[in-house]
Structure 1
């Protein structure tokens, strides 16, 4: 059977390989090519500790200040506010206790499969080395031990494997950390990759070796049926037995062609890639500063800011540049004398839904399936999503209940 996968990011490529392993003949279509978007520039963190939906009631009193601060960790561009408002209304509704609990359980169900699925996928591709399982740190600068204790209890209560470290214990793990670090949470069952783009390239190479194809073309329309089809902007029509939409931030207009009104919006994520080698063995996130530092091949990646501004507004260099002063505070010896001009700025688009869950499963059109909207956890969930969608497309019963991720929840 033939399958067309739309999207050559990490989610689309992981799904393509999973389907090829099941005997499908797979063609991947993408408007730019392998890892051209968020899959290139993400923080490289397999963040299975992130079990809490982003719609947190504690954000409400902080939102006005956060959203108006042009360099804050979470911002809406003023010109985009009216377009983002419906998304934020839904976001606030998902703060209701019952919804938040349900969404959190669905996040944990995907996270629980993530590391094993990723390990299996990369081992199959012959690059298990692209997954480093040294955990990650969430560091604190506050002298108030109660703050750390509360965070520890929160994560342990959610079933996350975590250890509380003193500042000295954190520096024993990561000697380059500042003396100002007063403590840390060590998440012991998470991982990172030193090269997110390499994961996508390895998946693409594996797919091709299995007889799959990757085509660069812009899809304009989908159609379901006995032989579902895609039409490109140039008018080329391709048919297959199944279609799988994994187009990330660009999935919404294609889903709308099939009659689905999906409230997907785009979080514009920034990074600053610095050439300095940090010496870190694992990602380090800051509780107070709301950003993350990840050791990478060729340097150190600083990431973490979020901006709502749509797909067309230009990049704001200042949102990438503001990450370096934070990195200097946490790793002063590494970044002493460093300047933003030493690094490379990047912006990518995270496809986010107001309940923090992806859309996974069948569409209302026969033969068409969805796997998009993975927000901050596309890298984390790519392999586990691929396993589940492989089971579903093959006509098997998926290993977990897929109803929380169904597109029908927006009907």
Structure 2
């Protein structure tokens, strides 16, 4: 080891990744302080689909982007939304992101993700067994297509995921409306994906925060961290209100806002906010299964007796306000596919910024500054990979040993 194991750690960000890191550091006897500017699960952790689906935690950039991307830029209602504005950072990100849209790059990224994908569900079980008062549910994921030929790309992706080392059982549903009465006859081909889970993400993250508190951790939801600096043998988190927090080490887990703090510590990989939207609707009959429409890029999840509908990848700045038109675009996209629900009676409308890297890999590990670590850049997979990330990063911080599952995520790459 290059330095002693930390006894006090400050963690920036009270989402799934930051809180899971805090919880696992507590398992090593570390005193933790979580610094958050708004509230628990205030970023991308609250309103996402809540899918614990490591079988679908795959690279976002794939060869279909070469055909789909240009069309999306010209279609304001497309699931992929890219603003036509002068933004050198955004266009630099997009250039690198699209350059990864090859079969070879996709396979390389999938191989790098598979190790942590295989640990993902077990890591949730460890949190629950350790006292986190929340649950995950396992049900088949219903994958719907309007035409049989549309299912070929998804089937091929699942074959590649299995080739990389996961088990993703996929079967055809013969009578889908008996299983999912919310589907219309327009959904002609339906598959069932097994081995995945789902949950209410905000509830789980709140329960994780409560567990951190009960174990002696401090969560300050009025703390805007403006800088993390090395001082003596430790680090200091400087806050916007003039306060500061001293610690032996600090973890930057502030999602799409990561570059603002991490850049001065040698982290040069771009992180772009990929904003997702969601809302919930009531259904005439209970929604029991997660539903995914790959061609529409819409993911749906049973949520507090309703159905949460989530979609879009909008490359904008993380703090821009919710754009109501994007909600309307999702509604119009799925209206022909759903029945027995009122899509115009919506609750819980939300936008959250997911941290997307050009190469599709997270940023997890030590920076160029001793005592400063990062944990972020998971894109759409921060919820499902957060607990495993927190566990492996805590081990690295305490032992100096980088687990092979996070070695590809070196933030200094």
| TM-score normalized with structure 2 length | 0.91
For the Cα contact (< 8 Å) 1:224–1:365, is it kept in 2? yes
Shift of 1:327: 3.8
In the other structure, the counterpart of 1:23 is 29
Structure 1 portions without partners, runs of 5+: none
Q: 1:63, 1:96 → 2: CA distance?
A: 14
In the other structure, the counterpart of 1:281 is 288
For the Cα contact (< 8 Å) 1:272–1:321, is it kept in 2? no
Q: 2:372, 2:83 → 1: CA distance?
A: 34
Partner-residue secondary structure (3-state), 2:302: strand
In the other structure, the counterpart of 2:91 is 85
Shift of 1:122: 2.3
The counterpart of 2:318, out of the listed 283, 307, 311, is 311
For the Cα contact (< 8 Å) 1:278–1:295, is it kept in 2? no
- 1:299-329 residue CA offsets vs partner (Å, 9 max, x unmatched): 2111111111213433210111222234433
Give the alignment's Cα RMSD to 1 decimal.
2.0
The counterpart of 2:107, out of the listed 96, 101, 108, is 101
Q: 1:64, 1:116 → 2: CA distance?
A: 39
Partner-residue secondary structure (3-state), 1:307: strand
Shift of 1:339: 4.7
In the other structure, the counterpart of 2:157 is 154
For the Cα contact (< 8 Å) 2:173–2:192, is it kept in 1? no
For the Cα contact (< 8 Å) 1:48–1:112, is it kept in 2? yes
- 1:321-378 residue CA offsets vs partner (Å, 9 max, x unmatched): 2222344333312x2xx25354342111111101111100101100111101111011
Superposed, which structure 2 residues align to 1:228-377 within 5 Å?
Answer: 228-276=235-283, 279-333=286-340, 335=341, 338-377=342-381
After superposing the two structures, state which structure 1 stretch, 352-361 or 63-72, moved more. 63-72
- 1:49-104 residue CA offsets vs partner (Å, 9 max, x unmatched): 22431111221122111122111100111225544110011112223444332211
In the other structure, the counterpart of 1:211 is 216
For the Cα contact (< 8 Å) 2:184–2:339, is it kept in 1? yes
- 1:140-178 residue CA offsets vs partner (Å, 9 max, x unmatched): 11044xx4355324313421412221441x334323322
Establish whether residue 397 from structure 1 lines up as the match of residue 401 from structure 2: yes
Kindly tell me: are residues 80 and 19 of structure 1, through their superposed partners in 2, closer, same or farther at Cα, counting changes over 3 Å?
farther
| TM-score normalized with structure 1 length | 0.92
For the Cα contact (< 8 Å) 2:281–2:343, is it kept in 1? no
Q: 1:375, 1:157 → 2: CA distance?
A: 20
Q: 2:102, 2:48 → 1: CA distance?
A: 30
Q: 1:221, 1:126 → 2: CA distance?
A: 31
After superposing the two structures, state which structure 1 stretch, 152-161 or 226-235, moved more. 152-161
Q: In the comparison of the two structures, how many residue pairs are matched?
A: 401
Partner-residue secondary structure (3-state), 1:238: strand
Q: Which portions of structure 1, spanning 4 or more consecutive aligned residues, are displaced by more than 6 angstroms?
A: none
For the Cα contact (< 8 Å) 2:301–2:309, is it kept in 1? yes
Superposed, which structure 2 residues align to 1:127-166 within 5 Å?
Answer: 127-128=133-134, 130-144=135-149, 147-149=150-152, 151-159=154-162, 160-166=167-173
